[in-house]
Amino acid sequence: MSDKNIYPCALLINDIHVSKDNIPEAKANWNEALQVCDERGIKLILVGGDLFQSRSSQNLDILLAIYDMLAIADNRGIKIVLANGNHDKVNQEAIRGYCHVYGQFDNVAVVDDFLTITDDQWDCAIHMIAYFPESGSFTSKLNALITGGLDEERKNLLYIHEGINGALAHSSDNELPANIFGDFDKVFVGHYHNRCLVKGSNVEFIGSSRQHNFGEDEEKGYTLVFNDGSHEFVKNQANTRYQVIDVPANKVDIHLSDRLEEIREDGRYKVKVRVHSTNADAASIDKSKLLDSGAMKVEIITEEPEIREIVSSSLFEKFDNNKIQENYKEFCRVKDIEDPALGLSYLAKIDKNVEAK
């Protein structure tokens, strides 16, 4: 296939997480995806799991919002393939989930267990597997897809929604090993919201379609797959972004306030300020000033210095009233307490109360 015939043939999007509290954000997210399709001549959107947020139930507003989103795509001549993610099912091992409600749309297909999508003009085949538990039946679904025969004449791309070892800082026994995907040329994965490559493998987590909270990075958006099997990331520009600013207590000044005001004027960010301070300095930090300047949240993170050992004592040493008072005096010296007399007066009563009993 010559370069002049290479074009984007599908847009991948996952982890939209529509809930009753974020319908405007989800619609903005979806409309931007449609805009990208219009600009790049794409007629196919693949939704790789977690279209919904709640696992337990969906209210009417959510169902109608997604109905409208799919109808808009239909009006633009865009076909949709939906794969259930773990948030899209009540029973995680079930074939059918919430996405199946929309399976009768003329432009919508829903993945039951797995589905292969290709075209005569493509040098790749895109295989999708719906979510099934990593420690449950997912592996059998994967093996069934592979056993059924991958396309030997094309690049085989896989799009899934699973936890895979190597994507997070700490791996889990419930995650899948990356080496089970060796039959594929490339594996695109949703589920974890931050983009990353699994080292030493063909696995790439493509990230959620927008930021959902302060714990996520800004590299969110859409993955375009080209008919030669290559791909491109397009960053989300439509949704509000979340930014965390970490500062020491001595940098909470006019410069920080000016920075917050500039970010607020930009209008694209919600900002959380984390101030790192000692307990002694924490009370002097004016949180309201930072909030007035544009911060959405302000957290004070107290960092106490390492506690010094005051008096070395043997495990078998008698720890009587005199020893307690000795340690208390040393404590006062370390903490710069000028007059320990009041504390000593209370400690002196301990022996008297014991003798009275």
| Average pLDDT of the residues in 35-58 | 97
Strands lying side by side in the sheet with 231-235:
108-111, 79-83, 44-48, 8-13, 221-226, 231-235
0.75 exceeded by the pTM? yes
Domain ranges of the chain: 3-235, 241-302, 321-356
Convert the pLDDT of each residue in 199-251 to its tens digit: 999 999 999 999 999 989 999 999 999 999 999 999 999 998 898 999 998 88
Q: Find the Cα–Cα–Cα–Cα dihedral 343, 345, 347, 353, rounded to 10°.
A: -150
> Residue 1: is its pLDDT beyond 60?
no
Convert the pLDDT of each residue in 299-318 to its tens digit: 999 876 544 444 444 444 45
Cα–Cα distance measured from residue 271 to residue 263, given in angstroms and rounded to the nearest whole number: 8
Q: Which of 123-137, 169-183, 302-316 has the highest mean pLDDT?
A: 123-137
Give CATH for domain 241-302. Answer: 3.40.50.620
Give CATH for domain 3-235. Answer: 3.60.21.10
At 316 the pLDDT is: 47
Cα–Cα distance measured from residue 148 to residue 207, given in angstroms and rounded to the nearest whole number: 29
At 169 the pLDDT is: 84
At 350 the pLDDT is: 58
At 319 the pLDDT is: 56
Q: Residue 274, class by beta-carbon neighbours within 10 Å (0-12 exposed, 13-18 middle, 19+ buried)?
A: middle
Convert the pLDDT of each residue in 101-128 to its tens digit: 999 999 999 999 999 999 999 999 999 9
What Å distances lie between residue 39 and 42, 186, 348, CA to CA? 8, 25, 83
| Average pLDDT of the residues in 172-185 | 94
What is the chain's length? Answer: 357
